[in-house]
Amino acid sequence: MTLPGTGTLAGRAIAALGRCGATLPTIAGDAGPAPLTARTPIDGSVLAFLHPSTSADVEAAVTGAHDAFLAWRTVPAPKRGSVVRRLGELLCEHKSDLADLVTLEAGKIRSEALGEVQEMIDICEFATGLSRQLYGRTMGSERPGHRLSETWHPLGVVAVITAFNFPVAVWSWNTALALVCGDPVVWKPSETTPLTAMACDTLLRRATTETAAPDGLHHVLLGTAVIGEQLVDDPRVALVSATGSVRMGRAVAPRVAARFGRCLLELGGNNAAVVTASADLDLAVRGIVFAAAGTAGQRCTTLRRLIVHRSIVDDVTDRIAGAYRQLTVGNPFDDGVLVGPLISGAAYHAMHAALDTARADGGVVVTGGERVGSGESFYVTPAVVRMPEQTAIVRAETFAPILYVLAYDTFDEAIALHNGVPQGLSSAIFTTDHREAEGFLAADGSDCGIANVNIGTSGAEIGGAFGGEKETGGGRESGSDAWKSYMRRATNTVNYSGELPLAQGVEFGPRSPDDFA
- Cα separation, 157 vs 139, whole angstroms: 30
Q: Where along the chain do its domains lie?
A: 8-267+477-488, 271-461
323: enclosing H helix or E strand: helix 313-325
Judge whether 328 and 349 are in contact, CB under 8 Å: no
**According to the model, what pLDDT value does residue 93 have?**
98
Contacts of 225 (CB under 8 A, 6+ apart): 248
pTM: 0.95
**According to the model, what pLDDT value does residue 397 have?**
98
Q: How many alpha carbons fall within 13 Å on the CB side of residue 328?
A: 10
Neighbours of 70 (CB within 10 A): 11
Contacts of 443 (CB under 8 A, 6+ apart): none
**According to the model, what pLDDT value does residue 3 have?**
36
Assign domain 271-461 to a CATH class. Answer: alpha beta
**According to the model, what pLDDT value does residue 2 have?**
31
Q: What topology does CATH give the domain 8-267+477-488?
A: Aldehyde Dehydrogenase; Chain A, domain 1 (3.40.605)
**According to the model, what pLDDT value does residue 509 have?**
76
Contacts of 472 (CB under 8 A, 6+ apart): 265, 266, 267, 268, 269, 423, 424, 425, 448, 449
464 burial level (CB within 10 Å; 0-12, 13-18, 19+): middle
pLDDT in tens, the chain (517 residues): 233 444 699 999 999 999 999 988 766 555 567 889 999 999 999 999 999 999 999 999 999 999 999 999 999 999 999 999 999 999 999 999 999 999 999 999 999 999 999 999 999 999 999 999 999 999 999 999 999 999 999 999 999 999 999 999 999 999 999 999 999 999 999 999 999 999 999 999 999 999 999 999 999 999 999 999 999 999 999 999 999 999 999 999 999 999 999 999 999 999 999 999 999 999 999 999 999 999 999 999 999 999 999 999 999 999 999 999 999 999 999 999 999 999 999 999 999 999 999 999 999 999 999 999 999 999 999 999 999 999 999 999 999 999 999 999 999 999 999 999 999 999 999 999 999 999 999 999 999 999 999 999 999 899 999 999 999 999 999 999 999 999 999 999 999 999 999 999 898 876 666 766 6
| Total H helices, total E strands in the chain | 15, 23
DSSP sequence for 109-175: -HHHHHHHHHHHHHHHHHHHHHTT----EEE--SSTTEEEEEEEEE--EEEEE--SSSTTHHHHHHH
Q: Which residues are catalytic?
A: 266
Q: Tell me whether the CATH fold assigned to 8-267+477-488 matches the one assigned to 271-461.
A: no
**According to the model, what pLDDT value does residue 513 have?**
65
491: enclosing H helix or E strand: strand 487-495
